[in-house]
Amino acid sequence: MGSPLVLGPMLRYVDETSASIWVETRADCLVRVHAGGRSWQARSFAVHGHHFALVEVDRLEPGTVSPYRIEIDGVSVWPDPRSEYPASVIATRAPGRPSRIAYGSCRTSVPHDRSGNRTHGVDSLRAFALAVADGREVRPDLLLFLGDQVYADSTTKQMQEFIRSRRDIHEEPGKELKDFEEYAHLYQLAWSDDANRWLLSCVPSAMIFDDHDIRDDWNASLDWKRKMEATNWWHERIVAGLASYWVYQHLGNLSPRERAADEMWQRVIGRRHDAPYPDLSAALDEFADRCDKDPDSYRWSYSRDFDGTRLIVLDSRVSRDLTPSARGLLNGQELAWFDRRMQGGFRHVLVATSLPFLLPLGLHHVEAWDEAIAQGAWGRPAAWVGEQLRQRFDLEHWAAFQNSFQAVAGIATELADGNRGPSPLTVTFLSGDVHYSYLAEVERPNGSRILQAVCSPVRNPLPRFLRWFSVVMSYGAATPLGAAAAHSAKVPDPPFRWKTVEGPWFDNNLALLQDGPDGLTMTWHTGVVEDGDERHPRLEEVAAITVPAKRDSEASS
């Protein structure tokens, strides 16, 4: 029958004194975590025939590293005594220690063999995991996944085999995911690789969705949403997608206090001690359906403070306002929450958003122009053309929601100028999505530096002909032509100018961000196969950039 442990353990939220460990199990059970001579336990809960548990480990000492093991109903299931990897550990935060964060987005789940590496490239996350396991790379404080960990709409051969085993793949939604059961299998494909599974067992992780977690262009416009709702399969997809996201990704994003206040988690912990395990299937489906129909009813965004760093992770999909007269990547309630979190007094403020806030200027102008004509700036016939372009070419980033772009740019500038408390050294947007990596910086004469650091993909590279197209659209003639088109549609100018200072790189990459006395150091890493050893790629540095703690003019004054 196999191990009673299906997925995990995954080390999720960790602070100075507590840790959250998530597992998927084969049946209803009692899960125990043992570390440092103590133990903690949690009963499983069920969703559509799958069983999960989250064990809250508390009263730990700050700055300690503790090996741990997992028991299910008294049987030891982790670590596997045959494993080639080091012991899984819980490493609590040490007050005053600079943060080290790894991040990236867009990772497909195909085998780590010659065929998989040829079609999808080497998995940079696996290369990183092997380097950490061997001691060639330092274990980060956090793994931040910025969307598209799973692809519900562009499935692999392995996923399609599973779909065929349970339904007619020629009927809608075809090769795309249909329900919770298929999402559960997709997560198993994504997280069961031995090296990555070990890495996720001992490095805390935080996550947010992007479009492919549900479907390409998810909530690009009201027209897009109405087309999806007119199908006979979309309702089941969106409910399954959001319900599975809550279980597999979002639950572990929350601190113990936030989780205790979560309406769905209260159903798990609110039962009597002797009551049977809860089945959340119906309640979670109702919750997911409500979140899609009423985005104001639940917040998927969250924030964390790491000593001198504030990390704000934004939902840029569910919380959109698609009303044509008030389009926003963030609706009013979400923007107000973000506004409150953007405060000074930190060395760095990191804004994690799956979609790049600062696209290359050429592409920014094109998307802003397209939004304007799709909203009727050039009349009804042009509006139809604009909508088709938006959906055909994925023109739905921050630039295509000018209300939100202008508002967030203003907030970021106020923070950088010191109008929201002591200004940080940097205001840095961390993003993915576009399948190439780069660093951009706002042109500012003084004050904090405003940066955009993109890392995409972790494993899903653009075909070579699309790389050429991306460069032309982003950096070539599209820049002056896009600006002219945007002006012709009366799009307001951005409140500042920016430029790409490093990149683009089209490798599969995982980025590392490290705060230090000299400034903010960012490195991008890819995996390289040597001597035909496809399963053990070497981690290679693609680029390294240090943003000084002070500008040259300040340092010399």
**pLDDT attached to residue 307:** 85
Separation CA 542–CA 178 (nearest Å): 38
Burial 215-253 (b: 16+ CB within 10 A, else e): bbbbbbbebbbeebeeeebbebbbbbbbbbbbbbbbbbb
Q: Does residue 208 fall inside a structural domain?
A: yes
- Strand locations in 58-176, DSSP E? 65-72, 75-78, 89-91, 100-104, 142-146
The CATH number of the domain holding residue 392 is 3.60.21
pLDDT of the chain, 557 residues: tens digit per residue? 689 999 999 999 999 999 999 999 999 999 999 999 999 999 999 999 999 999 999 999 999 999 999 999 999 999 999 999 999 999 999 998 889 999 999 999 999 999 999 999 999 999 999 999 999 999 999 999 999 999 999 999 999 999 999 999 999 999 999 999 999 999 999 999 999 999 999 999 999 999 999 999 999 999 999 999 999 999 999 999 999 999 999 999 999 999 999 999 999 988 655 556 789 999 999 999 999 999 999 999 999 999 899 999 999 999 999 999 999 999 999 999 999 999 999 999 999 999 999 999 989 999 999 999 999 999 999 999 999 999 999 999 999 999 999 999 999 999 999 999 999 999 999 999 999 999 999 999 887 899 999 999 999 999 887 787 777 766 766 677 777 878 888 888 899 999 999 999 999 999 999 998 889 999 999 999 999 999 999 999 999 999 987 654 443 33
d(CA 352, CA 428): 8
* Residue 382, Cβ density class (10 Å: 0-12 exposed, 13-18 middle, ≥19 buried): middle
Residue 457 lies in a domain: yes
How many beta carbons lie within 10 A of that of residue 192, not counting itself? 13
With respect to residue 9, please indicate whether it lies within any of the assigned structural domains: no
Residue 145 covered by a domain: yes
What are the residues facing 45 on neighbouring strands? 52
* 273 part of a folded domain: no
Structure tokens at 548: 């000084």
Give CA–CA dist 328/324, Å, rounded: 9
Give the count of alpha carbons within 13 A of 113, CB side only.
Answer: 3
Would 233 be classed as within a structural domain? yes
- Residue 85 in any domain: the answer is no
- Rounded Cα distance between 9 and 492, Å, is 49
pLDDT value at residue 468: 77
Looking at the DSSP assignment, which residues form a beta bridge with residue 348? 309, 426
Let me know if residue 410 belongs to a domain. yes
Pairing of strands 19-25, 5-14: antiparallel
User: Residue 269's pLDDT is what?
Assistant: 86
Our count of domains for the chain comes to: 1
pTM of the model: 0.96
Alpha-carbon distances, residue 523 vs 149, 437, 519, 540 (angstroms): 21, 11, 13, 10
Helix (H, G, I), strand (E, B) or coil at 390: helix
Q: Residue 429: helix, strand or coil by DSSP?
A: strand
CA 42/CA 273 separation, integer angstroms: 11
**Using CA atoms, how far apart are residues 385 and 391, in angstroms rounded to an integer?**
10
Q: What is the pLDDT of residue 274?
A: 54
433 phi, psi to nearest 5 deg:
75, -45
Residues 256, 21: Cα–Cα separation, whole Å = 12
pLDDT for res 2: 80
Distance CA 300, CA 418 (A): 28
For position 273, what pLDDT does the model report? 54
Residue 121 sits in which domain range? 104-253+294-524+531-555
